[in-house]
Structure 1
Amino acid sequence: MSESTNSANDIQRPSFDVYEAYQHALLDEEISPPLAAILALTQLMENSTAGTMFELVKALNDGAEVLKAKSSNPISLNAGCELFIAFVTLFPHDSVSFADLKTKLIRQGQQYAKEALSYRRKIAELAVGFIKDGSVILTHSYSRVVMQTLLLAHERKRISVFVTEARPRGLGIKTAEALTAAGIPSTVILDSAVAYVMEKVDFVLVGSEAVVESGGLINAVGSNQMAIIAKAANKPFYALAESYKFHRLFPLSQYDLPNHNSRIFSFPRLKSSVSPRAKRTPDELSVAPTTITQEEISQNNPDVDYTRPDLISLVFSDVGSLTPEGVSQYLVGMFAG
């Protein structure tokens, strides 16, 4: 009787909500989606009743699928999940029991997330060496590592920054406000004015959602066109990326990105009962004018885009300054154990 009661209690016991843990981690503004995913999977491991490595890895993969399904843009968090699961799978150990191994893995996951918060400072120190006194920089949207780099550069050199508005979310305004508050001269420009301003800048500096296996970059939409224009103007295009954003993904075009769906760039159905080919009178055309909202525009457009590796000058990371080819080599080594 006692055994059956305990079994029933185990079945009824509320399961761990990995997505809730992920969202809670993101409440810390210093935690980016890949790190939040690693922290959430570490907590999942703590709460797991897995008795073997096979069961534990399956639980982690299931948790990663939950995070992916509930996120509108899973690319960045996928990189964190992929890195953590590879770490667990390849972790060398001489543990006497699975429980001991599990404790070590949990401790290592927590320690990695803690240490990873220092990566932005390492990247900033590296990137500042490439910034000359008096530089005029163009950046895009909002990036924690870009902000840290610009603030550090401002402490040591004179810089000024053009920031794209970064529609539809307008995060470039957040960047410009933070720069202005720190005393850095900055100007917000329209996304459509990138080509206009390019001849005034010394280089482009952007953050990243992920750096993929080809050495290409996934970042806030608009990054690709900036890179194309920078290449045409012979201006360096630098990307900043923590190594936990390196992702084993190999897109060949914008439409290979995991977050692409049929909603993006779709054409709305005509609400009028009049045939599209039928001739309309001026009175018919003036009836019921169409109103397009910013929300509708946002829903019909991508959040991120893909920049080819040949458009990127260097990727600054906590593991060094890498060419796009160097990123590919590093990724192969990272997941080869």
Structure 2
Amino acid sequence: MEGEEISKYFLKIIEHEDVSVGIAAIRTLMEIINKTASTTVQGLDENIKDGISIMKRSHYPVAAIDSGCELFVRFITLTRLDTHFEECKRIMLKRGNLYLKHHNRSRNTIVTSASKLIGDGVRILTHSRSRVVLQTLREAAKQKRKFEVYVTISEPDKSGLELCKQLEIDGIPHVAILDSSVGYIMEQIDFVMIGAECVVESGGVVNKIGSYTMAVCAREMNKPFYVLTESFKFSRLFPLGQQDLPLEYKYDNYSNSTDFKKVHPLVDYTPPSFITLLFTDIGILTPSAVSDELIKLYL
């Protein structure tokens, strides 16, 4: 597959199907493997690396693409394949399909456990538009629970308003609030529930800009801060603070910018000390347990 073809395939999945950026990236890698013109494993590795680079140049979160692809590539090349190329390719595709099949079910696992948090009369604060959070809210509504959701508008792309439109369709009571009113509204809510672009080795998360501010307010007012995320978003990144995040995570087309002080970051880092629990497809985890799970995933 050529660069333009890879980009179009990746964007078509995102624009026409309700899947996360990470899953779209993994499916694109599967297509690259399936259609590769290479006749060697080394050549296929280069095709995969090139494909990841092309997807990272899109306007979608690089953190989600990076974390999803990293674990996927590790899984399909888990052991050295001492066989001819076509058989090696067949095994990779088989492993890839197994990987996708597992993670296509992962959101349902998270929703089942996280929806139990939502009882009658609960008021929830969320940020941006997370598919797994939306599905969890829908599940609670399906069980006839009465609750209310406060949604930040989530500048600069106003993705929170997209979530509000979907909540409106589902008949779920909600209120759109300014990002700057998080501190004001925090005393009225019962807990915070957000998604994540990726989960780092410390148990902290990288997510839409403003997540860290929300977490600081939540801890100050003793409100639980829950993160809902699939395990394919676990990454071996270990930031100590905001400045340790890769520039490509924080800035769109960062390589074309010369003065980052004049560009708004797209994501921020929420340290593990601000997170109450992470609801994942491999269990409900404390932030300190993430490192152990990463070791298991990458073994």
Same fold (TM over 0.5): yes
Q: Does 1:185 align with 2:173?
A: yes
Aligned partner (choices 263, 280, 301) of residue 264 of structure 2: 301
Shift of 1:72: 6.1
Could you say which residue in structure 1 is the equivalent of 2:23?
35
The superposition leaves residues 206-247 of structure 1 with CA deviations (integer Å, 9 ceiling, x where unpaired) of 011111111111111110000000000011000010111112
Aligned partner (choices 43, 47, 65) of residue 77 of structure 1: 65
3-state DSSP of counterpart to 2:16: coil
Whether the 8 Å CA contact 2:61–2:197 is kept in 1: the answer is: no
Q: Does 1:243 align with 2:239?
A: no
Whether the 8 Å CA contact 2:191–2:224 is kept in 1: the answer is: yes
Aligned partner (choices 278, 282, 291) of residue 319 of structure 1: 282
Bigger mean CA deviation after superposition, 22-31 or 160-169 = 22-31
Bigger mean CA deviation after superposition, 205-214 or 96-105 = 96-105
Aligned partner (choices 262, 265, 280) of residue 261 of structure 2: 265
Distance in 2, Cα, partners of 1:115 & 1:257: 29
Shift of 1:141: 1.1
The structure having more radius of gyration, on CA atoms, is 1
Whether the 8 Å CA contact 1:57–1:88 is kept in 2: the answer is: no
Q: Does 1:234 align with 2:222?
A: yes
Distance in 1, Cα, partners of 2:115 & 2:259: 40
Structure 1 16/101 Cα, relative in aligned 2: closer, same or farther at 3 Å?
farther
3-state DSSP of counterpart to 1:205: strand
Could you say which residue in structure 1 is the equivalent of 2:91?
104
3-state DSSP of counterpart to 1:141: coil
Could you say which residue in structure 2 is the equivalent of 1:147?
134
Structure 1 86/16 Cα, relative in aligned 2: closer, same or farther at 3 Å?
farther
Bigger mean CA deviation after superposition, 176-185 or 300-309 = 176-185
Could you say which residue in structure 2 is the equivalent of 1:220?
208
Whether the 8 Å CA contact 2:41–2:85 is kept in 1: the answer is: yes
Structure 1 49/265 Cα, relative in aligned 2: closer, same or farther at 3 Å?
same
Whether the 8 Å CA contact 1:80–1:245 is kept in 2: the answer is: yes
Aligned length: 290
Distance in 1, Cα, partners of 2:186 & 2:153: 15
Could you say which residue in structure 2 is the equivalent of 1:122?
109
Structure 1 vs Structure 2: percent identity of aligned residues? 39
Structure 1 324/36 Cα, relative in aligned 2: closer, same or farther at 3 Å?
same
Distance in 2, Cα, partners of 1:15 & 1:203: 44
Structure 2 unaligned runs (5+)? none
Whether the 8 Å CA contact 2:3–2:54 is kept in 1: the answer is: no
Structure 1 unaligned runs (5+)? 1-12, 267-299
Q: How large is the Cα RMSD of the aligned pairs?
A: 2.2
Structure 1 319/190 Cα, relative in aligned 2: closer, same or farther at 3 Å?
same
Q: Given the two structures, how large is their TM-score scaled by the length of structure 1?
A: 0.80
Whether the 8 Å CA contact 2:3–2:51 is kept in 1: the answer is: no
Bigger mean CA deviation after superposition, 191-200 or 24-33 = 24-33
Whether the 8 Å CA contact 1:61–1:85 is kept in 2: the answer is: no
Name the aligned partner's letter for residue 77 of structure 1.
I
Could you say which residue in structure 1 is the equivalent of 2:13?
25
